[in-house]
Amino acid sequence: MAKSGATSAQAADEAKAGWFQSGAEFKGAPVRVVGAMGDKPWGEVMGGQPQQVGPEDMTAKFKVAKGFRLERLYTVPKDQGSWVSMTMDDKGRLICGDQYGAIYRVTVGEELEVEPLDIALAGAQGLLWKDGALYVSVNAGGKVAKAGVYRVDDTNGDGTPDKVVTLMPLRGGGEHGPHALVESPDGKWIYVSCGNHTDPPECDRYLVPKVWQEDHLLARRPDARGHARSRMAPGGWVARFRPDGSQWEMVGIGFRNQYDIAFNDKGDLFAYDADMEWDLGLPWYRPTRVAHVVPGLESGWRNGTGKWPKYYEDSMPSLIDIGPGSPTGFLSGKGAAFPERYQRSLFALDWTFGTISALRLKEDGASYTAEREEFVAGPGLPSIVPLRQPSAVRDNRGRWVQRRLAL
């Protein structure tokens, strides 16, 4: 009820008719404020941004491999964007990148603490913590920073990166731009994965002979709807560099849009490449596929109808063709508290069908073949990015879909 311009609140079990009208008499007890709208444990009961109230067991809502449990730790609100990259610092805190915005730090404890980091970078589609520094692959930095690979140093030793160092500017962006950063098993290299809308940089060394062309004797047609009409060989590529930003080497080419790459338990590198969904059913359609990224790899992507068939002798065939989908995260089970067969597996995340596949590799001559098992699947689970250190997996709707790599 209002008095002299101030507002107060009272409550009663019963009231006279018309109590809500201006000037009506109302007698009740003062109301005690116990929390603001949206506070725990009630959350946003009237709608609005969802609030995290603690780990939630989601196993029953999805198809999950036997012996595993699925937990949701955090729901990313809209004002924090869509998180598409993740790493872990040396204190066990998660570092997460919004597709177009800030970089966040998540401390997992009794309650989750989420804070934006004061770093002059945005649009991080690749994050890697190594030796006290944060490496960032910027895709859509806009006015904050241009596309490229950066290192953010902790200059005062307080555990928070604060000084941005440019390692390699890149020309490219969007969903086929610069993507993941992965450390080599021996720690001497950092590998970067970029889609076919990213121009390859000038490198110090080329493990792939720098003679790539479209290589067609017969005429071919570009995409009828105009997609990537100007993009030619080498397409998507994988390069590596030293942690200090020196000695850039081109490792493999010929991808469409391999968002992520991963080393298996034997130290071999693999990439999970995308299909062109509009080509489905046509002779030149190539399904989503896993490639063995040997030094000097040519995977055969070309513009429009010109993609190389797998029988071309100078094109490395895939380990496994998975089919239609949208490849995103990709990682090895090495070091996880998993049964042995999963430790030797690669885990492939698909956005379109909301699936995490476990791929069991079998040596086949100088390379491998692979068998696929559906590891996690279910509606509303468009998986995006895994955490390479044993801890978590997150989906495109901001939900942690696997809390720990442990039984």
> What are the angstrom distances between the C-alpha of 212 and each of 126, 224, 293, 309?
27, 24, 17, 16
Closest CA to 191 of 254, 263, 297, 87: 263
Domain that holds residue 387: 57-402
Q: What is the pLDDT of residue 383?
A: 65
Residue of 352, 358, 404, 348 lying closest to 381 (CA atoms): 352
Asked if residue 268 belongs to a domain, the reply is yes
Query: Cα–Cα distance between 42 and 272 in angstroms, integer?
Result: 41
pLDDT at 54: 62
pLDDT at 6: 47
Integer Cα distance of 309 and 386 in angstroms: 31
Instruction: Determine, yes or no, domain membership for 113.
Output: yes
Contact by Cβ (8 Å): 384, 401: no
Q: What is the pLDDT of residue 51?
A: 52
Of 130, 135, 39, 32, the residue nearest 85 (C-alpha): 135
Residue 92 lies in a domain: yes
Burial of 265 (0-12, 13-18, 19+ CB in 10 A): middle
H helix or E strand, kind and range, residue 342: helix 340-343
pTM: 0.84
Query: Has residue 327 been placed in a domain?
Result: yes
The DSSP 8-state label assigned to residue 98 in this structure reads: E
pLDDT at 1: 41
The predicted structure's pLDDT at residue 43? 57
The CATH number of whichever domain residue 310 belongs to comes to 2.120.10.30
Counting the structural domains of the chain, the total is 1
Domain annotation covers residue 36: no
Q: For residue 214, tell me if it sits in a domain.
A: yes
pLDDT, position 390:
42
What pLDDT is attached to residue 52? Answer: 52
In a domain, 68, yes or no: yes
The residue length of the chain stands at 407
Q: Specify if 38 maps to a domain.
A: no
Residue 109's pLDDT is: 83
Residues of the chain with pLDDT under 50: 1-6, 47, 390-407
Residue in this structure with the two tokens 């806009």, named with its chain if needed: 142
* pLDDT value of residue 10: 78
